[in-house]
Amino acid sequence: MRWPRLDPITRRRLQRFRRIRRGYYALVILLAAMVLAVFAPYLAESRAIAVWYRGTLYLPTFQYYPMRTFGQAPPAGWDSADIEADYYRLQREWGTERILYARGHSAAGADPAALAALAAKYPDRDDYVVMPPIPWNPYQSDFWANEILNDIQQALDAGHRDDAEWLALRDGLGELAAAIRSGRIDTLLAAGKGHPKRTLGDLARTGAMVSLAGLGTSPPNAPDLRRRHYLGTDSQGRDVAARLLYGFRISIFFALFLVLTGQVIGTIVGSLQGYLGGRFDLVSQRLIEVLIAVPFLYVVIVIAALFQPTFWLLIAILSLFQWIAITFFMRTEMYREKTREYCLAAKSYGASHFRIVFRHLLPNCLTPLVTFTPFAVVGAIFALTGLDYLGYGLPAPTPSWGELIGQALQASNRDKLWLTLAPFGALTITLVLVVFIGESVREAFDPKPYARYE
Amino acid sequence: MSLLEIDALQVGFATEAGLVRAVDGVSLAVERSQTLGLVGESGCGKSVTASSILRLVPSPPGRYLGGAVRFDGADILSMPREALPAIRGRDIAMVFQDPMTALNPVFTIGHQLREVLALRFGLARGAARERSAGMLKAVGIPDAGARLDQYPHELSGGMKQRVMIAMALLCRPRLLIADEPTTALDVTVQAQILHLVRELQRESETAVLFITHDMGVIAEMCDAVAVMYAGRVVERGSVVDVFERPRHPYTKGLLASLPRPGHARKSPLATIEGTVPSLIAPPAGCRFAARCAHRRELDAARARRCVEVDPMLPPAGDHPVACHFPLDAGAPAGNSA
């Protein structure tokens, strides 16, 4: 089958679409977002894109490296050969080495022995880690905000001031690091009138040290640029931005696949109903009416109870209902088009029914298909979000907008504004973009502008 | 044996009011490389007869009630459905009434001509394009190569009708059915198209069944003519015979309603009073009786015969007529009363 060459009317419609700025830019933005979503593993991922370590380039995207490869200290109770390198920590550790080396360098002046000692102490000061813009994958829990003050406190309590300062420096707590270094921390923590000796947690809670605000609390944590949680974390400490991005990826491709299958089936059925008419039309219309009467949500709930829903299973279930809407439009279009004489003409020179329906008539019936598809995409995204929200969508750790909205609406999270704004904002923006596109397509296909009475 | 023989063809349409016998016992024959004109007013069954030849009567509601359509001896109405594409577009091609809707609006002219060639001869693209361009030139379309890349809406009505004719002739059919190919066109273009069909027919020795309601066109185009009225053929004969000595009052009426040079200015044209009878329950006798000016001149007994007995068209003869009292049968019947 050859693609029909663009005829002048279609070309004019495309031009009109381009001229409707709102829709055109919405399309550009959405396509860009989809391309970005395809490359999500390079945008939001806990593995580094590249590591430059002691003269060698490592590409962790393609290969697994344990902590030992980079000489990274494992968490307590683990062996450095057993777990994958923590690249984001590695990046911060080596950054800290650079800061300390620079500080030591200016202190050492021109003393070669001191310089050599310094170089030996900070061997990784020239090594680099290139992290994705969001250094989190969507499944990873991060309890840093809850734990970091404890870690520093422990180091302080044990008298390891250098370690404490190192930790503060490493995690971007500049004010705290400076206070530890200058010793001001002792006065801050000292027991005063009416209160016993304080902890770092107290400093954070009371606002005595403003830069510690929000630390020492369990997730969900507010957006924190030091930790590169641009949109905060959810109730399990997972990065909201990363989950939004992957959620978008799943939603939009889910919607596209769903709409594609739905429209293909619907177009075929509707076309045949319109073209064949008669008994086939009558019977299939009744079957469709039966199908419409089936409450779709209950079917999904029943099936979700029997099987663990997966991406493709959900598409299959929703396709059962998705195809119906377009059949009505294709049916009427076909009813109208088949009476045109070119259809009879095609028959008169020996074209088969199949050929007439799908090669001659269908290209003349595409307008409803093109104009309704964007709105079908909106519906499909919304359907998946709704199912996820209700818990009948994709299974648990899968990043999804509906699940985020579900978290946001829990009573205990009502004050966590980022949890509400992020998924609702993403949903709103996406749907508005798609609606803009659909509206502009509809407008571009509207025959009225071609024939307007003065 | 004639190329095409229609034998007592009956076609009915089921409507809510009952079965409409649109074609009720039509018999015709088209000889090789001859042009037969089929003439009659709107609704008399001309087009249904024509589409029956290709078995293109829409069904439902249409139904073949009886008779046969023999092309080269083979009955098209009773052959298996799979055999139809072999005839459609190959042996018999059709030019439709309305060129505005008979071309698919979303494909180029070249694409549609090519498809016919691909279906018919399995021709490859390049060769098909060359053939199409040649045929467009033959039907008098200037700059044929460029026209191939145009869409139907970019062409005028006359051009489109030429394209339709080209499409029909590309298959080199042995019979061309032209169903009022000029009614949708204006008069100047009409003349060109008629001339063109005549010319092409003479060159390729194709038989043509020419359907029209315009007696003038018949005179111009045809060798033989069959006049239809209310689903029946009422008179048949060579163009010269029928035009110079019409035997059926209806034929005479049709001819009289033509404006002619010398027709007195501002005097009204002759018309045939009344309308075509219902084909659901046609009158028992002659279907034209109610409108027949000739019958009014007959005596009562003979006039009653017209209403009571159905006149049948004699199967043989050079100039048969379905009338009890044909016009050339001696003195005008009224005189003997």
Whether B94 and A348 lie within 8 Å, measured CB to CB: yes
Q: What is the ipTM of this complex?
A: 0.71
- State the CB neighbour count (10 A cutoff) for residue B304: 14
Which range of A243-252, B2-11, B240-249 scores highest in mean pLDDT? It is A243-252
Instruction: State how far residue A335 is from chain B, nearest Cα, in angstroms.
Output: 14
Tell the CATH topology of A8-38+241-450. Answer: MetI-like fold (1.10.3720)
Q: Which residue, among A360, A335, A330, has the nearest Cα to A348 in the 3D structure?
A: A360
| Per-domain boundaries in chain A | 8-38+241-450, 46-131, 144-217
| Per-domain boundaries in chain B | 99-172, 249-336
Note the pLDDT tens digit of each residue in B163-201.
888 888 887 888 888 888 877 777 777 787 788 888 878
- pLDDT > 50? residue B332: no
Closest residue in B to A277 (Cα) is B60
> Residue A134 and residue A24: Cα distance in Å, rounded?
29
Optimal mutation site among B79, B98, B104, interface A, most CBs of chain A within 10 A:
B104
β-strands B4-15, B62-71 pairing: antiparallel
- pLDDT > 50? residue B333: no
- pLDDT > 90? residue B19: no
Say whether residue B123 is in contact with chain A using an 8 A CB cutoff: no
State residue A214 phi and psi, 5-degree precision: 90, -15
Is the distance from CB of A367 to CB of A234 less than 8 angstroms? no
Q: Which residue, among B181, B210, B245, B240, has the nearest Cα to B37 in the 3D structure?
A: B210
Q: Look at A435-444, B45-54, B238-247, B274-283 and tell me which has the smallest mean pLDDT.
A: B274-283
Whether A349 and B88 lie within 8 Å, measured CB to CB: yes
Whether A346 and B104 lie within 8 Å, measured CB to CB: yes
| Residue tagged 């509906």 (tokens) | A402
Note the pLDDT tens digit of each residue in B20-38.
888 888 888 888 888 898 8
**Span B94-107, average pLDDT:** 82
> Residue B87 and residue B96: Cα distance in Å, rounded?
17
B302 vs A117, more confident = A117
> Residue A189 and residue A203: Cα distance in Å, rounded?
8
β-strands A128-130, A56-58 pairing: unpaired
- pLDDT > 80? residue B336: no
Instruction: State how far residue A344 is from chain B, nearest Cα, in angstroms.
Output: 8
Q: Quick one: pLDDT at residue B315?
A: 77
Say whether residue A8 is in contact with chain B using an 8 A CB cutoff: yes
User: To the nearest whole number, what is the mean pLDDT of chain B?
Assistant: 82
> Residue B9 and residue B313: Cα distance in Å, rounded?
13
pLDDT tens digits for chain A (454 residues)?
A: 455 566 777 788 888 888 888 999 999 999 999 999 999 888 999 899 999 998 899 999 888 999 988 888 888 888 877 888 999 999 999 999 999 998 888 887 778 888 888 888 888 888 999 999 999 999 988 888 888 888 898 888 888 888 889 899 998 888 888 888 888 888 888 877 777 888 888 888 888 888 888 888 888 888 888 889 999 898 888 999 999 999 999 999 999 999 999 999 999 999 999 998 889 999 999 999 999 998 888 888 888 888 888 889 889 988 988 999 999 999 999 988 888 888 888 888 778 888 888 888 888 888 888 888 988 998 999 989 998 888 888 887 889 899 999 888 888 888 888 888 999 999 999 999 999 999 898 888 876 655 556 6
Cα A183 from chain centroid? 44
What is the pLDDT confidence band of residue B335, given thresholds at 50, 70 and 90?
Answer: very low
Say whether residue A4 is in contact with chain B using an 8 A CB cutoff: yes
> Residue A366 and residue B209: Cα distance in Å, rounded?
37
Q: Enumerate the H helices of A158-295 as residue ranges.
A: 161-170, 174-182, 184-189, 200-206, 240-276, 278-293
Whether A348 and B106 lie within 8 Å, measured CB to CB: no
> Residue A324 and residue B5: Cα distance in Å, rounded?
49
3-state SS of chain B: helix, strand, coil percent to 5? 35, 20, 40
Q: Which residue, among A364, A445, A417, A436, has the nearest Cα to A27 in the 3D structure?
A: A436
**Span B81-88, average pLDDT:** 82
CA dihedral sign, ordered B280, B286, B290, B293? positive
Instruction: State how far residue B278 is from chain A, nearest Cα, in angstroms.
Output: 25
| Residue tagged 């990065």 (tokens) | A239
- State the CB neighbour count (10 A cutoff) for residue B73: 9
| Residue tagged 């003479």 (tokens) | B202
Q: Quick one: pLDDT at residue A454?
A: 62
- B104: nearest CB among A278, A348, A360: A360
Whether B101 and A342 lie within 8 Å, measured CB to CB: yes
3-state secondary structure B68-108: EEEECCEECCCCCHHHHHHHECCCEEEECCCHHHHCCCCCC
> Residue A229 and residue A239: Cα distance in Å, rounded?
6
> Residue B137 and residue B218: Cα distance in Å, rounded?
26
What is the pLDDT confidence band of residue B263, given thresholds at 50, 70 and 90?
Answer: low
